[in-house]
A and B are shown apart, each in its own frame.
Chain A
Amino acid sequence: MSKKTILPAHSADEELPRRFYILNAVVAVVLMAAIFISIYQFGAEAWHGRRQVALIISGTKNQVGWNSSHYLAVKNVCTELDFDLIVKENVLPTYEECKKAVDEAAARGAVIILLPNGCHLYDLEKFEKDYPKITFCTIETISALWSSGSYSILSYEVSYMAGILAGLHTKTNKIGYIAPFIDPEINQGINAFAIGAQRVNPNIEVLVNWTGGWDKPSSEEQAVQNLKAEHVDFLAYHQNGETIPNTAERAGIDFIAFNEVYPSNTRCIASITIDWKRMYKDLITYYRRNNLGGAYGFGLSNQMVDLKVSDRITKREQVLLDTARWEIENGRIIFAGEIFDRNGVQRCTANESISFQSLQKNMNWLVRGVKVIGN
Chain B
Amino acid sequence: METEKIDTGKKNVFRFALTLVGRFVIFLAALTLIGYLVLTKMESLLQSEIEDFVRMHAEITAQIANERFNGELIQLNRQAKQLEVGILTPDSLISSISLGEPGITAGICDTSLNLISGVVLPESAKMQIKRSMIGESLVNYYEGVGIVMSVPVVYNGNVRFVIYKIYNDKLLKEKYFHLETALSKDIIICDTAINKIVVPTNDFGIGKRFYDKRLNLPKGYERIIAKMSNNNAAALYSPSIDDNYIIFASAIQDSFVVIGYVDWNLAVGEIFNVHRIVVWVFFLLIVLFGIFVLYSFTAELKVAESDELREAKDEADRANQAKSEFLANMSHEIRTPLNAVLGMDEMILRETPIDSPVRTYAWNIKSAGETLLSLINDILDFSKIESGKMEIVDTTYYLSSVLNDIFNMMRFKAEQKGLDFKIEVDESVPDVLYGDEVRIRQVIVNILNNSVKYTQKGSVTFKVTWQRMADGSAMMYFSSIDTGIGIKEEDLPKLFSKFQRLDLQKNRTVEGTGLGLSITIKLVKMMSGELKVESEYGKGSTFTIILPQKVEKYEAIGDFRTRAESFIQQQQNYHESFIAPDAEILVVDDSDMNLFVVENLLKKTKIQITRSMSGKDCLEKLAEHHYDVVFLDHMMPEMDGIETLERSKTLENSKNLETPMIALTANAISGVKEMFLSKGFNDYLSKPVDSKALERMLQKYLPPEKIIATDEEESAEEEITENLSDGTESIESVDVESTNSETSPTETSQDAAQNIDYDLGMQYCGGMEDMYKEFVKMFCDKKSENQEKLQKALDEDNWKDYTTFIHALKSGALSVGGKVLSDQAKALEMAGRAYLDNNDISQLDYIKENHSKTMEMYDEFVKEAAARGFIEADEANENSTPKSDDKTQNIDVELGMQYCGDMEDMYKEFVKMFCDKKSENQEKLQKALDEENWKDYTTFIHALKSGALSVGGKILSDQAKELEMAGHAYLDNKDTAKLDYIKENHSKVMKLYDEFVTEAKERNLL
Q: Which residues of A contact B (CB under 8 A)?
A: 32, 35-36, 39-40, 42-43, 285-286, 288-291, 330-331, 333, 335-336, 347-349, 351-359, 361-362
Q: Known contacts A288-B231, A348-B158; is A333 also within 8 Å of B134 by CB?
A: yes
Q: Chain B contacts of A356 at CB under 8 A? A: 134-136
In the complex, the answer to whether B160 meets A351 with C-beta atoms within 8 Å is: yes
A-B pairs, 6 with minimum CB distance: A355-B135, A358-B157, A331-B130, A352-B158, A289-B232, A356-B135
In the complex, the answer to whether A355 meets B160 with C-beta atoms within 8 Å is: no
In the complex, the answer to whether B134 meets A353 with C-beta atoms within 8 Å is: yes
In the complex, the answer to whether A352 meets B160 with C-beta atoms within 8 Å is: yes
In the complex, the answer to whether A355 meets B126 with C-beta atoms within 8 Å is: no
* Chain A: minimal CB distance from B543 (Å): 58
- Tell me the nearest residue of chain A to B127, going by C-beta: A331
In the complex, the answer to whether B136 meets A330 with C-beta atoms within 8 Å is: no
Q: Chain A contacts of B111 at CB under 8 A? A: 333, 336, 351-353
Complex CA gap A357/B155 in Å reads 12
Q: Known contacts A330-B127, A351-B160; is A290 also within 8 Å of B110 by CB?
A: no
Q: Chain A contacts of B133 at CB under 8 A? A: 331, 333, 336, 353
* Chain B: minimal CB distance from A81 (Å): 9
In the complex, the answer to whether A289 meets B230 with C-beta atoms within 8 Å is: yes
In the complex, the answer to whether B158 meets A354 with C-beta atoms within 8 Å is: yes
Q: Chain B contacts of A361 at CB under 8 A? A: 157
Of residues B37, B38, B45, B157, which shows the largest number of chain A Cβ atoms within 10 Å of its Cβ? B157
Q: Chain B contacts of A331 at CB under 8 A? A: 126-127, 130-131, 133
**Residues B145-163 near A (CB distance < 8 A):** 152, 154-155, 157-160
* B112 adjacent to chain A (CB < 8 Å): yes
* B34 adjacent to chain A (CB < 8 Å): yes
In the complex, the answer to whether B135 meets A358 with C-beta atoms within 8 Å is: yes
**Residues B845-861 near A (CB distance < 8 A):** none
Q: Chain B contacts of A285 at CB under 8 A? A: 230
* Chain A: minimal CB distance from B456 (Å): 67
In the complex, the answer to whether A39 meets B37 with C-beta atoms within 8 Å is: yes
* Chain A: minimal CB distance from B699 (Å): 61
- Tell me the nearest residue of chain B to A348, going by C-beta: B158
Complex CA gap A286/B157 in Å reads 30
* Chain B: minimal CB distance from A25 (Å): 11
* B323 adjacent to chain A (CB < 8 Å): no
Q: Chain B contacts of A336 at CB under 8 A? A: 111, 133
Q: Chain A contacts of B126 at CB under 8 A? A: 331
In the complex, the answer to whether B230 meets A288 with C-beta atoms within 8 Å is: yes
One digit per residue, 1 when the CB lies within 8 angstroms of any chain A CB and 0 when it does not, for chain B 25-58 equals 0000010001001100100010010000000000
Instruction: A40-B41, A331-B133 given; name 14 further pairs at CB < 8 Å.
Output: A290-B231, A290-B232, A331-B127, A333-B111, A352-B155, A353-B111, A353-B133, A354-B158, A355-B152, A357-B157, A358-B135, A358-B157, A358-B158, A359-B134
- Tell me the nearest residue of chain A to B59, going by C-beta: A290
For chain B, what secondary structure do more than half of its interface residues adopt (helix, strand, loop), or is it mixed? mixed
* Contact sample, A vs B, 21 pairs, CB 8 Å cutoff: A32-B30, A32-B34, A39-B34, A39-B41, A42-B45, A43-B41, A289-B233, A290-B231, A331-B131, A335-B134, A336-B111, A349-B158, A351-B111, A352-B155, A352-B159, A353-B133, A354-B158, A355-B134, A357-B135, A358-B135, A358-B154
Complex CA gap A290/B233 in Å reads 9
In the complex, the answer to whether A289 meets B135 with C-beta atoms within 8 Å is: no
Q: Which residues of B contact A (CB under 8 A)?
A: 30, 34, 37-38, 41, 45, 48, 110-112, 126-127, 130-131, 133-136, 152, 154-155, 157-160, 230-233
Q: Known contacts A32-B30, A285-B230, A289-B231; is A351 also within 8 Å of B112 by CB?
A: yes
Q: Known contacts A39-B37, A40-B41; is A351 also within 8 Å of B134 by CB?
A: no
Complex CA gap A6/B230 in Å reads 69
- Tell me the nearest residue of chain B to A301, going by C-beta: B131
Complex CA gap A359/B157 in Å reads 8
Point out the residue from B34, B38, B158, B230 that lies within 8 Å of A353, measured CB to CB: B158
Complex CA gap A89/B359 in Å reads 138
Point out the residue from A39, A351, A355, A359 that lies within 8 Å of B154, measured CB to CB: A355
Of residues B131, B133, B158, B232, which shows the largest number of chain A Cβ atoms within 10 Å of its Cβ? B158
- Tell me the nearest residue of chain A to B113, going by C-beta: A331
In the complex, the answer to whether A36 meets B135 with C-beta atoms within 8 Å is: no
* Chain A: minimal CB distance from B722 (Å): 74
In the complex, the answer to whether B159 meets A355 with C-beta atoms within 8 Å is: yes
- Tell me the nearest residue of chain A to B112, going by C-beta: A351
Q: Chain A contacts of B41 at CB under 8 A? A: 39-40, 42-43
- Tell me the nearest residue of chain B to A154, going by C-beta: B134
In the complex, the answer to whether B110 meets A351 with C-beta atoms within 8 Å is: yes
- Tell me the nearest residue of chain B to A336, going by C-beta: B111
Complex CA gap A352/B133 in Å reads 8
Q: Chain A contacts of B30 at CB under 8 A? A: 32
Q: Chain A contacts of B158 at CB under 8 A? A: 347-349, 352-355, 358
In the complex, the answer to whether A362 meets B157 with C-beta atoms within 8 Å is: yes
Q: Chain B contacts of A359 at CB under 8 A? A: 134
- Tell me the nearest residue of chain B to A43, going by C-beta: B45
* Chain A: minimal CB distance from B60 (Å): 13
- Tell me the nearest residue of chain A to B38, going by C-beta: A39
Of residues A40, A330, A354, which shows the largest number of chain B Cβ atoms within 10 Å of its Cβ? A354
* Chain A: minimal CB distance from B130 (Å): 3
Q: Chain B contacts of A352 at CB under 8 A? A: 111, 155, 158-160
Complex CA gap A361/B157 in Å reads 9
Complex CA gap A288/B229 in Å reads 11
In the complex, the answer to whether B130 meets A333 with C-beta atoms within 8 Å is: yes
Complex CA gap A353/B157 in Å reads 9
Complex CA gap A357/B135 in Å reads 7
In the complex, the answer to whether A291 meets B152 with C-beta atoms within 8 Å is: no
Complex CA gap A330/B41 in Å reads 51
Complex CA gap A359/B110 in Å reads 20
Q: Chain A contacts of B112 at CB under 8 A? A: 351
Complex CA gap A1/B154 in Å reads 116
Q: Chain B contacts of A355 at CB under 8 A? A: 134-135, 152, 154, 157-159
* Chain B: minimal CB distance from A354 (Å): 5
Complex CA gap A291/B56 in Å reads 13
- Tell me the nearest residue of chain B to A337, going by C-beta: B111
* Chain B: minimal CB distance from A95 (Å): 30
- Tell me the nearest residue of chain A to B234, going by C-beta: A289
Of residues B38, B135, B136, which shows the largest number of chain A Cβ atoms within 10 Å of its Cβ? B135
* Chain A: minimal CB distance from B324 (Å): 31
- Tell me the nearest residue of chain A to B44, going by C-beta: A43
